[in-house]
Structure 1
């Protein structure tokens, strides 16, 4: 068979591109896989209720997907973030400003991610490798950028308490009651830590029910049965200075 130079280059390009793309494109996760586990995840923080959420988990572990400048400036909550990190909760990226990635250019997506990553490095000395897209919106362009930046997994969810959409605490409780009744099937639940009723009413009701049903409340990594790190170590935590602002 005869190949022209251009056709041979095209063939080589297509052959080489696919493995690279497969190796760098983060996997999109919409549910846990390990039986008997529930991953309660909390978006849109940090805010003043982070510790209340942790207390309501009653020894369970949560996953928190943080913005840089949403309900509060991430730098103003550095102590809370360090406490959650040290306690073994998983912290991930949710963009800097809760931006809809589908509406951004590639350079704008990079800027959103760069700013939140910089905050993680300054506060914790690590870069997050787990990501949740605001509104659950994620196109191929965004996945490409996330892959190029080294993200390992993109997390959606299997169950939504709708707390950020104005759902009553009773409605959110019903969602988690349904999860408790589904033991031992795994669940990946979307909550929002800045919503006061989540930590004050919903979790105090639902966490004991989930545990009584037999569920372990674990991080997203644990509910997938993986021991990979959700972070890339980048030096050491830095001392607060004038650059710590939103």
Structure 2
């Protein structure tokens, strides 16, 4: 119930908000895409078992998407090295969603740093890059969170305009109704979904891709739909590493 309330509150706050809500030392809070005719479908809470299927569906449709990954939520990120590298190679955008899916506004400074740092270390080991795009669990953040993100070099905090409700246990029909409500082409949209939900990858994803493309939207990754306000969503650190006994949760 708390998750539903938080998500609803954030959604209502974003409906009339401008695409860029605020900036704190270089970090922008993004509420929507900015390029007319483009729409970003985004997927939180992985890695799990369905990201490859979601990726393949987008690739088959000539589209791109965005995954915000946890370090140790449904599964340990180090147990999905090949999968994450495949998503990156397919040119989908990958961002941080914290290590354990914690509500950062309930944590101390050091705890927030740890939630971010552990995911960053995993990205560097697996991909050789550090993520610069971040989605806060539950859409929950405060000035301390923004300051820490800024200090660590993050560029964007990504929120959303529509939530399909899959993580809250809503039905497939509910999620499809959310997609059906996006009918104001060419206005941009930024949609929240969750990759570990079985019915999302098997039913909602194909419905969303076909429905939205038929209405004319170009389905792109979040950095693309920000247009000139977007940037490469990573900091290059070095070549990807080789798994060893430090690659564990």
TM-score by length of 1: 0.89
CA root-mean-square deviation = 1.1
Q: Confirm or deny that 1:27 pairs with 2:28.
A: yes
Shift of 1:55: 2.3
Written as runs of structure 1 = structure 2, the 5 A alignment for 1:1-246 is 24-57=25-58, 58-179=61-182, 181-226=183-228, 228-246=231-249
CA–CA distance in 2 between the matches of 1:121 and 1:66? 14
* Structure 1, unaligned runs of 5 or more: 1-21
Output one character per residue of 1:198-234: Cα deviation in whole Å (capped at 9) or x when no partner.
1101111221111111111101111110351100001
> Once the 2 structures are TM-superposed, how far is the Cα of residue 59 of structure 1 from its aligned partner?
2.6
The Cα of 1:111 is off from its aligned counterpart by: 0.6
In structure 2, the residue corresponding to 1:189 is in which secondary structure? strand
Residue 182 (structure 1) shift:
1.5
Residues 119/90 of structure 1: CA separation in 2 closer, same or farther (3 Å cut): same
Q: State the distance in 2 between where 1:25 and 1:225 align.
A: 17
> In the aligned structure 1, how far is the partner of 2:34 from the partner of 2:24?
21
Structure 1 runs (4+) greater than 4 angstroms displaced: none
| Residues 132-190 of structure 1 deviation map (CA, whole Å, 9 limit, x = unaligned) | 000000000000000000000000000000100001011101111111x1211100000
Q: Distance in 2 between matches of 1:27 and 1:160?
A: 20
**What is the number of residues matched between the two proteins?**
224
Q: Which residue of 2 aligns with 1:13?
A: none
Residue aligned with 2:29, SS: strand
Question: Does the CA contact (< 8 Å) of 1:36 and 1:214 recur in 2?
Answer: yes
Gaps of 5+ in 2: 1-22
CA shift, 1:56, in A, is 2.6
8 Å contact from structure 2 (residues 40, 222) kept in 1 = yes
Q: 2:24 touches 2:146 (CA, 8 Å); kept in 1?
A: no
> How far 1:52 moved relative to its partner?
1.3
Cα offset, 1:23, TM superposition: 6.9
TM-score, normalised with respect to structure 2:
0.88
Larger radius of gyration: 1
Query: Is 2:39–2:218's contact at 8 Å kept on the other side of the alignment?
Result: yes
Asked whether the 8 Å contact 1:24–1:150 carries over to 2, the reply is no
